[in-house]
Amino acid sequence: MTKLYTCEVHVRWGDSDRLGHVNNVLYAEYAQEARVQFFRDCIIGAGALPTPMVVRKMTFDYLRPVTDETGPITVEIVIPHVGTSSFVVHQLMRDRNGEVCVRAEGVMVGFDPETEKSVPLPERTRELLKEYAPVEVSAPAR
């Protein structure tokens, strides 16, 4: 069975721009905070050793604004692909009313700080990440 990880990220007073919306660059911080919580709770908390990683790529689809009044946000995380040294993370950010505000997708890579090169993810980490893979839904037979 696929697991879905959710966590809450608070909207801070200084996060809003002059229009009263959360500034778009702060969603990268929210995504990072949610990934850190995910790893603490679900990967390291399940017995995997901490592994250095870097963000290879991050994209955001901004669907509706978050304001001070519609925060905090809930972030949902699934892991649709796990490779040897990298994985894809999908993050859905909802406001306090349950409205989807931002869809984020990132690619994370295992990293050796000494050589500054990618390295394979530990097997235990890969196993745990795969538990959060979304279920593939096939088209109904005709």
14-52 pLDDT tens trace: 898 888 899 999 999 999 999 999 999 999 999 999 999
Domain ranges, ordered by start, for the chain: 5-130
pLDDT greater than 70 at residue 139 = no
User: What does pTM read for this prediction?
Assistant: 0.89
CATH for 5-130 is 3.10.129.10
What pLDDT score does 1 carry? 58
What pLDDT score does 138 carry? 47
Q: DSSP string spanning 74-130?
A: EEEEEEEEE-SSEEEEEEEEE-TTS-EEEEEEEEEEEEETTTTEE-PPPHHHHHHHH
73-110 pLDDT tens trace: 999 999 999 999 999 999 999 999 999 999 999 999 99
